[in-house]
Amino acid sequence: MEILDRFRLDGKVAIVPGGGGAIGSALAKMLSSAGACVAVVDRSAELVEETVRIICERGANALRVPGDMTAEADAERVIAQTIETFGHVDIIVNAIGGGAGKVLFDAQEYPRKEWDWIYELNVRATLLPTQAAVRAMIARGQGGRVINISSVRGLLGINAGYSAYVAAKGAINSLTRQWATEWAKHGITVNAISPTFVDTPQVAMLLGDPAFKASVVSRIPIGRVGQPEDLFGAVLFFASDASSFVTGQILGIDGGLTATQ
C-alpha cells in the first residue's frame, strides 16, 4: 500500500459533534475531502445545514443530525441516525467545547453554576456521543477512532480565572488516556489534539484586544495563533490507518508554546 493511501478515509464514516462550529465545521469538511462520509452534529440546525451544504456541493456525502449532546437521548439518536444512513460509524471527532473566555473568576470564588456549565459543555458533551458511538463500534467489531479536542489549558495553568476550563480540559486529557487503555482491546484508538488559541469567533473578542493578542503571540515560538487548518494534519493522522499503533496521546498544536514551559 502506498504510504499516502494510509491517510485516506474512503469507506469510513465519521461523526463530528460540534460540526457546525468553527473548528468542527472545518474538520468535517477536511474528513469529507479525505474520503469519509460525515455526519454533522450541532445544537443549531442552521449551522449543521451550512456545513452539510458545503460538503454536498463538493459532491461528497454528509448527513444533517442536529441535537443537544448533553442529552443522552439525543446522543443515542444521532449515532442511530448515522448508522441508519451510512451503515456504521468508524470515527468520532469531538469538537464541542470552549466557553472559557466567557466565565473568568478567581479560583477561590469560582461559582458553581458557571463551573457546571463549563463541565457540561466540555466534558458531558464529549462523553455522551462518544459512549454511544463506541458502543456501536464495539458491537460491530471493526475497531474505530476517537479524537478529542482538548486545549493547552488542559496541561498549563494560567493566571486569568480559567479554573473550570483548565479542569474540564484536564478531564478530557485523562479520559483520552483512560478510554485508550480500556478500548484498545476493541481496536479503538483514542487520541486528542491540544491547540493553543485558534483564530475562531469563540476567541475573537479576546484576540481583538491588540495588547492581549501581542502577549499571546509573544509566548508562541512560531509567532502566531493557530488557524483551523493547522489542526487538519493531526486529526487526519489520528482518524486514519496511518496512526494504527498510536493511542492515548495528546498532541500539542501550539506553535511550540508548551515546549517553552
Ligand X SMILES: NC(=O)c1ccc[n+]([C@@H]2O[C@H](COP(=O)([O-])OP(=O)(O)OC[C@H]3O[C@@H](n4cnc5c(N)ncnc54)[C@H](OP(=O)(O)O)[C@@H]3O)[C@@H](O)[C@H]2O)c1
Interface residue list for ligand X (CB under 6 A) = 18, 20-24, 42-44, 47, 68-70, 95-98, 121, 125, 149, 151, 195, 197-198, 200-203
**Set of cell numbers at residue 133:** 458511538
- 165 assigned to active site: yes
Q: What is the nearest approach in angstroms of ligand X to the Cβ of residue 78? A: 9
- Assess contact for 44 and 18: CB atoms under 8 A: no
Where do we find the cell 479503538? Answer: 188
Amino acid at 163: S
Distance CA 189, CA 15 (A): 15
Q: What is the nearest approach in angstroms of ligand X to the Cβ of residue 41? A: 6
Q: What is the nearest approach in angstroms of ligand X to the Cβ of residue 33? A: 18
Distance CA 260, CA 149 (A): 21
Where do we find the cell 486529557? Answer: 173
Q: What is the nearest approach in angstroms of ligand X to the Cβ of residue 3? A: 29
> Which of residues 177 and 186 has its CB atom nearest to ligand X in the complex?
177
> Which of residues 50 and 241 has its CB atom nearest to ligand X in the complex?
50
The residue whose Cβ lies closest to ligand X is 21
Q: Are strands 91-94 and 13-17 parallel, antiparallel or unpaired?
A: parallel
> Which of residues 4 and 214 has its CB atom nearest to ligand X in the complex?
214
> Which of residues 12 and 153 has its CB atom nearest to ligand X in the complex?
153
Distance CA 16, CA 83 (A): 14
Q: What does DSSP assign to residue 226?
A: B
Annotated active-site positions, please?
A: 165
